[in-house]
Amino acid sequence: MSRPGPVSPSRLSIDRLSLVTKVARLYHEDGLRQPEIATRLHVSQSRVSRLLKEAVALGIVRTIVVPPAGVHSELEDTVRDRFGLADVVVADTSSDDEYSILAALSGAGAAYFETTLTGHDRVGISSWSSTLLATVDKMAPRTVSTADVIVQVLGGLGTASVQMKATHLVERMAAVTGASPVFFSAPGIVASRGARDAILEDQFAREVLDEWSRLTVLIAGIGSVAPSPMLKDSGNAISATEIDALSEAGAVGDICLHFFDAQGRLIETGFSKRTVGIDAAAMRAVPRRVGIAGGARKYEAVRAALRGRWIDVMITDVDTARRLAAEPEV
C-alpha cells in the first residue's frame, strides 16, 4: 500500500493554516525564538518546531538566496559543472583592461587561499607569474599556521630582478601562512637536456624533487604561447624559433612551462627537455591544483587547461567565466 503524499493547503482547515502561518511569521519575520513563540501561543516548543517544518512543506515559507552585486555563484556552478572542476571562483571586474583584471584576480585569489588552506597543506607555487605575485602580496598574515611548507616548483634564476621576484613570492607566501619556505635555486630554462639532467641530479635538487612529490596544493598561473613580460625580462626568454615551433605543434598555453594544445594535450618539443621544474606527471598528481588567470588574451589557454584537466580549481574574471559557461560540455 502506497503512503499518502504531502498534505496540500486545500486539505487543511483554515484554522490550521492560520496557525501555521502565524508561527512562521513570528519566527521568520518578527525574529522570535521558538521558546518565545511557544509561550506566546501557549503551545509546546516541540509543536512550534513541527509547525515550522509544516510551513516549509506547504510552501508557506520559501528560502530564496539573492546573491549581492558582484557575486556570481550561479556562474561559478555552471563553469564548475561544465568542466568537471572541484571549485570555481569568479572575480567581478570593473572593466576588461588587464590592470583591472589583475587587481580582481589577485584579490579573489588572496581571499580563496586565506580561507581554504589548512595547517597541514604542502603548497607548490610557480615562480613566473605577475598574477601570483599580486595575489600573495594581498594575503594578510594569519595568527595560526595555514600551511606546512611553501615549495618553489619552477626554476627562477635569470636576471637579478626575476630571481628577486621568485624569492619574494615564496618568502611572502611562507610568511603569511606561517610555513617554511623551500627554494629551488636553479634556472628555469637551460641550454640543453644534458644541462637540465645534471641540475636535477644534484643532491639539493633531489631534496626539492622529493618535496614536489608530497605536495597537497599547487598554485600556478596559466600562460599563453607568447612569453609574458616577466618571462621576457627573465634572461631565459623562449626564442622566436621555439615559439614558432610550439605554435606549429598546436600549443595554445602552458602551466609551469608545460605547453598544451587546444584540447589540453601535452606537447613535447625540444624546449620542454630544457625546462627545469616539476614534471607534468608530478604536477597532475597533486590533489588540488589551482589555476589563476583571466582576460581575453588568456582565454584559449584557460579553456585548454580546463579541457586537459591540468587544474581542478579555477580562479578567473567574470567575462572569461561567461565565455567558459557558453562552451559545450566536455
Q: How confident is the prediction along the chain (330 residues), in pLDDT tens digits per residue?
A: 444 444 455 556 788 888 999 999 999 999 999 999 999 988 899 999 999 999 999 989 988 776 676 778 899 999 999 999 999 999 998 788 888 999 999 999 999 999 999 889 999 998 778 899 899 999 988 889 999 999 999 987 556 666 667 788 999 999 999 999 999 988 888 888 999 999 999 898 999 999 999 999 999 999 998 766 666 665 556 777 888 889 999 999 999 989 999 999 999 888 888 888 999 999 999 999 999 999 999 999 999 999 999 999 999 999 999 999 999 876
pLDDT value at residue 56: 92
| CA 276 to each of CA 137, 223, 273: distance values in angstroms, whole numbers, following the listed order | 25, 17, 8
Residues 6+ apart with CB under 8 A from 106: 131, 134, 135, 137, 138
Residues 199 and 273 sit within 8 Å (Cβ to Cβ): no
SS3 at position 89: strand
- Cβ-contact 124, 195 below 8 angstroms: no
Q: What gap in Å lies between CA 280 and CA 288, rounded to an integer?
A: 14
C-alpha cell at 188: 628555469
Cβ atoms of 137 and 169 within 8 Å: the answer is no
Q: Which residues contact 99 (CB under 8 A, 6 or more apart)?
A: none
Contact 172, 143 (CB under 8 A): no
User: In sequence order, what are the residues at sequence separation of 6 or more whose Cβ sits closer than 8 angstroms to the Cβ of residue 171?
Assistant: 181
Number of residues that make up the chain: 330
Q: Are the C-beta atoms of 315 and 92 separated by less than 8 Å?
A: no
Dist. CA 24–CA 19, nearest whole Å: 9
Three cell numbers written together for 281: 606527471
Q: What pLDDT score does 160 carry?
A: 60
3-state secondary structure of 259: strand
Q: For CATH 3.40.50.1360, list the domain ranges present in the chain.
A: 73-325
Per the structure block, which three cell numbers stand in for 302?
584557460
**Helix or strand holding residue 266 (H, E):** none
Nearest to 205 by CA among 234, 220, 236, 183: 183
Q: Which CATH architecture has domain 73-325?
A: 3-Layer(aba) Sandwich (3.40)
User: What is the structure's pLDDT at 2?
Assistant: 45
Q: Residue 118 has what DSSP assignment?
A: -
pLDDT score at 158: 59
Q: What is the 3-state secondary structure (H, E, C) of 274-330?
A: HECECCHHHHHCCCEEEEECCCHHHHHHHHHHHHCCCCCEEEEEHHHHHHHHCCCCC
CB atoms within 10 A of CB 76: 19
* Phi, psi (degrees; rounded to nearest 5) at 86: -80, -35
Q: For the domain covering 9-57, report its CATH number.
A: 1.10.10.10
Q: State which amino acid sits at residue 75.
A: L
Which residues of the chain form CATH 1.10.10.10? 9-57
What's the half-sphere exposure (Cβ side, CA atoms, 13 Å) at 151? Answer: 24
Whether 214 and 182 have beta carbons less than 8 Å apart is answered as: no
Torsion angle of C-alpha atoms 296, 298, 304, 306, degrees rounded to 10: -90
